[in-house]
Amino acid sequence: MKFDLDEDRALLKSSTRELLEKESPLAEARSVMESSAEGFSKPLYAQLAELGYLGLALSEEEGGSGLGPIGLAAVLHEMGRVALPGPYLDLVLATEALRELAAPEARQALRGLVGGEQRILLARSESVSGIEPATAATRFEGGRVRGRKCFVPFGASADALLVTTAQGLVLAPRPSAGWNAQPLPIVDHAQRFAEIALDTPGVLVADTPLAARRLEAVDRLGALGAAALLLGLMERALEIAVGYLMERKAFGVPIGSFQALQHRAADCLLRVESTRSAVYRAAWALEKDPEAARLLVPVAKAYAGDSGRIVTGEAIQFFGGVGYTWEYDPHIYFKRTKTLEQFYGSTRAQLESALHAAEI
Amino acid sequence: MKFDLDEDRALLKSSTRELLEKESPLAEARSVMESSAEGFSKPLYAQLAELGYLGLALSEEEGGSGLGPIGLAAVLHEMGRVALPGPYLDLVLATEALRELAAPEARQALRGLVGGEQRILLARSESVSGIEPATAATRFEGGRVRGRKCFVPFGASADALLVTTAQGLVLAPRPSAGWNAQPLPIVDHAQRFAEIALDTPGVLVADTPLAARRLEAVDRLGALGAAALLLGLMERALEIAVGYLMERKAFGVPIGSFQALQHRAADCLLRVESTRSAVYRAAWALEKDPEAARLLVPVAKAYAGDSGRIVTGEAIQFFGGVGYTWEYDPHIYFKRTKTLEQFYGSTRAQLESALHAAEI
Amino acid sequence: MDLRFTEEHERFRAELRGWLERNLERPWIEELRDPANDEDSLFEKRRAWQRKLNEAGYLGMDWPREWGGRGATAVEKAIFTEETYRLDTPPIPNVLGISLLGPALIHHGSEEQRRRFIPKMLSGEEIWCQGFSEPDAGSDLAALRTRAEPDGEHFRLHGQKVWTTFGPWADWIFVLARTDATDRYGGITFFLVPLHQKGVEVRGIRQISGESEFGEVFFDGALARREHIVGRIGEGWRIAMTVLSYERGAMSLAYPAQYDGYLADVVEGCRENGTVTRADVRERLGRLLVENEVMRANGLRNLAIIASGRAPGPEASIEKLYWSEYAKRLADAALDLLGPQAQLKVRAPHARPEMDWAYEALWCRAGTIYAGSSEIQRNIIAKRVLKLPVAG
Amino acid sequence: MDLRFTEEHERFRAELRGWLERNLERPWIEELRDPANDEDSLFEKRRAWQRKLNEAGYLGMDWPREWGGRGATAVEKAIFTEETYRLDTPPIPNVLGISLLGPALIHHGSEEQRRRFIPKMLSGEEIWCQGFSEPDAGSDLAALRTRAEPDGEHFRLHGQKVWTTFGPWADWIFVLARTDATDRYGGITFFLVPLHQKGVEVRGIRQISGESEFGEVFFDGALARREHIVGRIGEGWRIAMTVLSYERGAMSLAYPAQYDGYLADVVEGCRENGTVTRADVRERLGRLLVENEVMRANGLRNLAIIASGRAPGPEASIEKLYWSEYAKRLADAALDLLGPQAQLKVRAPHARPEMDWAYEALWCRAGTIYAGSSEIQRNIIAKRVLKLPVAG
């Protein structure tokens, strides 16, 4: 038995940390979140593509790195620590949707996506409440996709969209006039959601049954990825909060010496360490034991969602007044956590998946 | 505006405290809980009847004290503080069921009940899971009541039972051979529940619509009464726990000086004080504003149930090892609380009633 | 026991409701949503609303008549805040001036100070901000270090104040500053200081929600005139502590009323998305409903105690701890039950029309920090109410 | 990363399961429910079961062969406890002797002591109880005051020990006692003391569940022989602290397996009462399922670390804090979801056949208190892991 990462993935994780600490320290990430319309650094994403990060979920035969879910979890864990802005996970999920699709357009799109020439994103949601219709109202007819999608992650700047329709999965390249997109700003100022009205040519790359299979895989990988990001976010949030508890003084002593705060910090550590166990176990299962992953991935996402909310919220409280200021960092972790808790399968949805997997 | 009790009820409350501290100190109550088959002190209950405690819910015209729900809440609050064993609340609920019933047998039973000559108890539940059938399986036919009732409080020693049947409310006197009763011992060793197989003569004292109205009143008064008992239980449990925090030393200091425990004790106090506000407001509403009581009584019971579980559980934890011993008192409060939280309308049921009252 | 309002109370409420219906153009959230508004125009709308309230005699109601008062009781003040919160009226800019400085001037100020400052404070002509907290004196306020150095008959201020609400728009600040470095409490004096002068710099502090309602005020030799000292030199701490208690009960009904509205929006959203009949949603809604009603019960009890003229005990700390922790549970539930829509910024398409959950989800995090954090409230309850021994 | 068990592990598990199926007459709950049993007969059934396990070589598996060991790994020990918890086998009476005293004798005892005590400890012929805690030395164990006074070449014990599991049935006790009042840690010595002698009184402590598994032991001049000192005089504290760490990982899989069974009973009950499809019930069950799986993930990680030969870090405290707090949530949920039935005592009519919730609802309260309360575990995590400063 071994919980540590093997050499390749340990190297991937450490080199990812170096890269991100160099290319995307939080100060840098903050300015991207605050001032870039697209919400990410194009040069950094080009570099990520060049280094093969977009092929992480793919086998070597598919043109990927073959480092699999464990490698992806390790990378997202690091990206969470620095609150990396942008659609990295969403792009990886697009590769997960496209893989195994035979259509030449899909194969080409996958190559472009992995190579970084094409930013392709999934357009799925049709409901602002999160309660989605049983079948998409968006339709594909006569070579055109027509409908309205909301909360398309980083959709406004997409080169192509993978659109879920009643007929299946449709690949729609960006119209020359650009997308008819409206920004949907949310609590998390690092996030870029768009509502997109579609009436544009496209290609059906997966019929409904095939699309359903691919989207199930996407949902599972998305849940794992979000859980890994949450792990990095809460881990780092607790680190900076504990650092502040040590340095901040009140009544003449470091506030970290107050037992009430110590015990809450201890409960936070329990949450972070337990999330670590759950996330890597789920990643391992997705790689080695897909049947077990049906239970273990929702377990990881549900637990990471609850824990992230608790730990990053406590981080703000530990910082006190300055924790409520834009200048200090806790809110970045809190907001990103809120997005990841609610999207990529809400906690309530994950609990239901776990129950089903356990035949309850 | 005035939150304090008026003179009559303040006097009732203080004299009740004196009476109980004299006649039923916890040591006395403990021996009753542990060694009496009936589960209560007959002399004390005779005294309570003599002093008019069983007529508390009744108007003076009805032969009661006219001190109403507020008076009853004040009394039960005190009874909770000393964890008074026995069916006091259940007997009061029987008076609530019988009042306004025209049948001469009912009127006579009410007199006997209030006077303390007759111990009459309600027999309602037919399900061990707490999920009751829509209509009772117990039937009243040809002057006999036939069926099986469970969790009849202190039923084995009842002089008569008020039995809910498909035909309405039936008054059944104790058969000469005694009840065909089996004890149902539960976590709370102070409680005496019985399962009773009925095939015995009785009198229909209320048809179904009338019975439904009476039982609605019983449920409301039962919820208020249980909430008031819970208030007394958690209030006293916190008092003894705080006392222990002051006297018990570890690492050379009183454990009450540890901030982590102080903060949890403070959260307990918030629960106790808020329950006090909710219980007396509900009692006041039941007396002065029945429409508002439809919301405020379930509010009080639901909040008291959650709070009682938390506060008495913390009391055990504050006592540490000795808190897990029979010899120390926290478990008495914890167990009584568990019974009151689950019966007299579970928390989940109270939440639903509150939502309905609020038209949600 | 009697938890009803008196007839005078009900008359007051009826008259107030009538006035509000006639005078409130639209709820505050509509101003916030209006793209024509920016932080400055919003501030001016707050100022205009304050003027209206003042002309109608709804500010400083419990002060002496000559200072705009009308002999109102604590209960009437509570009804006033309850109704204004219920209707989502514009928050007034001089709220801290009126609730803290006003009483300080009336009880401890000079006749001249009252005449000079109170009318313009009530009208909103002059905006006041509060200069109590400092970067290293938050929970531990008495650790404040801002110095007032004698300069002839006057004083020069050196130091920094933070969390000065509306600092960026304020004209004056009431400041606690050290006139004696050696006396922790007795060395603090209460000054009134104009912000538009040399030696004062005001910076906005950006909140995590993006707004900059708060400010920092830097003093570098700013003039604090002797005649602008409230009370005597060295009385500042005592005055500050007493005025902090004058507002007891003012919010006791306001928060439950506000959360009624918030909760109603969650319920409405659950009706819209069809989940209001789902048992898990109902359990969540049920507890939120129950806990808000219990908060109201606490508030009524609190008011009844104040009305009976007795000094409130632990009620203030319990009230603060209760509403601020409840607000977090409520916002968490809203985001869970209403889904992505509740995360939309107020001006985004599809944002919920009557409630800005995106703001509340963040603002609720401040509630357990400002005006005595939850930790401080628990310390107070443990020590003053439960009488638990001090650590060490 | 590899969270699978090795083939040897799986072989061991298969062989163990086969043995258990052949040898376990009925699950422990059926013994508890059997009215023919009383506390004494139940104890003898535990003893008989221990003998069987010992004869099959399942006790002290990781000890040297000559002391009944079989060179088992920590993972195999964990698999053993997991399987026995899964099947609800009788808890063995010498559990503390085997897990604490055994390693102490093997690592610190004399050849003679090992020969004299280990075989009968394993067989259950001699029952051992633990004499560490005292009325005023619980969380603060080093405050223990039981004195060992020299008497010729031997010692006389004076003092009181509490929480001595199975004390009422024990033949021997291993005791930490003071041989030097002035040295807090270095003044403690580790004695083996027979209970059936003058100067020893054993009383049962009644638990809130009504049983008396625990006891108090009073020493009033009881003889403690020099040759029954483990290690050297003054080494007691060090020995006690090291043996407390030998069991690392032994429970890492057992608790999740046990709670699998408990949770399955709640699910079964919700199927019976028809609420398993209700959304609020599902949300509650879902979190319980998730949190137990996360506990198992922690356990596998913990074992993997131990298997890799590294010293576990915060895992032990996190494991204790996690399972003991989880057990409370699970019991609360069971009583909420299963209703009155779950409160019925094990021998009452209609009691759930496979689970004694009435006992668990109380027993779970002890879990956060014994073997280092949740408060102690949080202190350890805060200080040793987070390195937060000590108060004061």
Span C366-387, pLDDT tens digits = 999 998 999 999 999 999 999 9
Q: Is D283 on the interface with C (CB under 8 A)?
A: yes
| Contact between chains at A262 and D378 (C-beta distance less than 8 A) | yes
Asked if residue A203 lies in contact with residue A105, where contact means CB atoms within 8 angstroms, the answer is: yes
Give yes or no for residue A360 having a pLDDT over 50.
yes
Q: Which of C148, C168, C155, C273 is nearest to C215 (CA)?
A: C168
- What number is the average pLDDT over the span C336-362? 96
The whole-model pTM stands at 0.97
Give yes or no for residue C246 having a pLDDT over 90.
no
Which tens digits make up the pLDDT trace of A144-197? 999 999 999 999 999 999 999 999 999 999 999 999 999 999 999 999 999 999
SS3 state of residue B240: helix
Give yes or no for residue B229 having a pLDDT over 90.
yes
Asked if residue D202 lies in contact with residue D217, where contact means CB atoms within 8 angstroms, the answer is: yes
The residue of chain C nearest to residue B6, with distances taken between CA atoms, is C1
Nearest chain A Cα distance for residue D238, angstroms: 26
pLDDT band per the 50, 70, 90 thresholds, residue C391: low
Chain C residues closer than 8 Å to B355 by CB: 282, 285-286, 289
Chain B residues closer than 8 Å to A258 by CB: 259
- What number is the average pLDDT over the span A237-242? 98
Q: In what order do the strands lie in the sheet with A168-173?
A: A120-123, A160-165, A168-173, A203-207
Chain D residues closer than 8 Å to C390 by CB: none
Whole-angstrom Cα distance, residue C174 to residue C178? 13
Nearest chain C Cα distance for residue A263, angstroms: 13
Whole-angstrom Cα distance, residue A137 to residue A197? 12
Whole-angstrom Cα distance, residue C309 to residue C304? 9
Give the length of chain A: 360
Give the length of chain D: 392
- What number is the average pLDDT over the span C196-213? 93
Give yes or no for residue C83 having a pLDDT over 50.
yes
Residue D387, class by beta-carbon neighbours within 10 Å (0-12 exposed, 13-18 middle, 19+ buried)? exposed
Give yes or no for residue B346 having a pLDDT over 80.
yes
pLDDT of residue C67: 87
The residue of chain C nearest to residue B253, with distances taken between CA atoms, is C392
Give yes or no for residue C392 having a pLDDT over 60.
no
Whole-angstrom Cα distance, residue C339 to residue C331? 12
Is C247 noted as a catalytic residue in this protein? yes
| Contact between chains at A342 and C366 (C-beta distance less than 8 A) | no
H-helix or E-strand containing A140? strand A139-141
Q: Which residues of B25-60 are buried (b: 16+ CB within 10 A; e: fewer)?
A: ebebbbebbeeeebbbbeebbeebbeebbbbbbbee
Q: Which residues 373-392 in chain C show a CB within 8 A of chain D?
A: 391-392
Give residue ranges of A with CB < 8 Å to any C CB. Answer: 125, 127-131, 150-151, 182-189, 195, 249-251, 258-261, 309, 313, 316-317, 320-321, 323-327, 331, 334-335, 338-339, 342-343, 346-348
List chain D residues with pLDDT less than 70: 312-314, 391-392
Residue B159, class by beta-carbon neighbours within 10 Å (0-12 exposed, 13-18 middle, 19+ buried)? middle
Average pLDDT, chain A: 97
pLDDT of residue D391: 66
The residue of chain A nearest to residue C281, with distances taken between CA atoms, is A348
Q: Is C293 on the interface with D (CB under 8 A)?
A: no
Chain C residues closer than 8 Å to A346 by CB: 336, 339
The residue of chain A nearest to residue B266, with distances taken between CA atoms, is A260
- What number is the average pLDDT over the span A254-280? 97
| Contact between chains at B184 and D133 (C-beta distance less than 8 A) | no
pLDDT band per the 50, 70, 90 thresholds, residue C312: low
pLDDT band per the 50, 70, 90 thresholds, residue B39: very high
CA C15 vs CA A232, C11, C255, C256, D350: distances in Å = 56, 6, 21, 21, 62
- What number is the average pLDDT over the span A116-137? 94
pLDDT of residue D392: 47
pLDDT of residue C8: 94
Whole-angstrom Cα distance, residue C318 to residue D136? 34
H-helix or E-strand containing A185? none
Nearest to C279 among D279, D391, D392 (CB): D279
pLDDT band per the 50, 70, 90 thresholds, residue B251: confident
Least confident among A203-207, B183-187, C94-98, C190-194: C94-98
Nearest chain C Cα distance for residue D277, angstroms: 10
Q: What's the ipTM? A: 0.96
Give yes or no for residue B213 having a pLDDT over 60.
yes
Give residue ranges of B with CB < 8 Å to any D CB. Answer: 125, 127-131, 150-151, 182-189, 195, 249-251, 258-261, 309, 313, 316-317, 320-321, 323-327, 331, 334-335, 338-339, 342-343, 346-348
pLDDT above 70 coverage of chain B, percent: 100
Average pLDDT, chain C: 94
Chain B residues closer than 8 Å to D358 by CB: 186-187
Residue with tokens 């009431």: C174
Subunits with 3+ C-beta pairs closer than 8 A to D: A, B, C
CB pairs under 8 A between A and B: 10
- What number is the average pLDDT over the span B346-357? 98
Chain B residues closer than 8 Å to D206 by CB: 325-327
Nearest to A277 among D6, D75, D298 (CB): D298
| Contact between chains at B342 and D133 (C-beta distance less than 8 A) | no
Whole-angstrom Cα distance, residue C249 to residue C258? 15
The residue of chain C nearest to residue D390, with distances taken between CA atoms, is C392
Nearest to D279 among C278, C391, C392 (CB): C278
Nearest chain D Cα distance for residue A123, angstroms: 29
pLDDT of residue D312: 66
- What number is the average pLDDT over the span B226-242? 98
- What number is the average pLDDT over the span B169-179? 97
Sign of CA dihedral D9, D45, D101, D376: positive
Which of D134, D216, D247, D315 is an active site residue?
D247
The residue of chain B nearest to residue C268, with distances taken between CA atoms, is B360
Which tens digits make up the pLDDT trace of D72-103? 988 999 999 999 999 999 999 999 899 999 99
Give yes or no for residue A217 having a pLDDT over 50.
yes
Which tens digits make up the pLDDT trace of A324-351? 999 999 999 999 999 999 999 999 999 9
Average pLDDT, chain B: 97
Whole-angstrom Cα distance, residue C250 to residue D80? 64
Task: Count Cβ atoms below 10 Å from residue A185 Cβ, excluding itself.
Answer: 18
Residue A199, class by beta-carbon neighbours within 10 Å (0-12 exposed, 13-18 middle, 19+ buried)? exposed
pLDDT of residue D313: 67
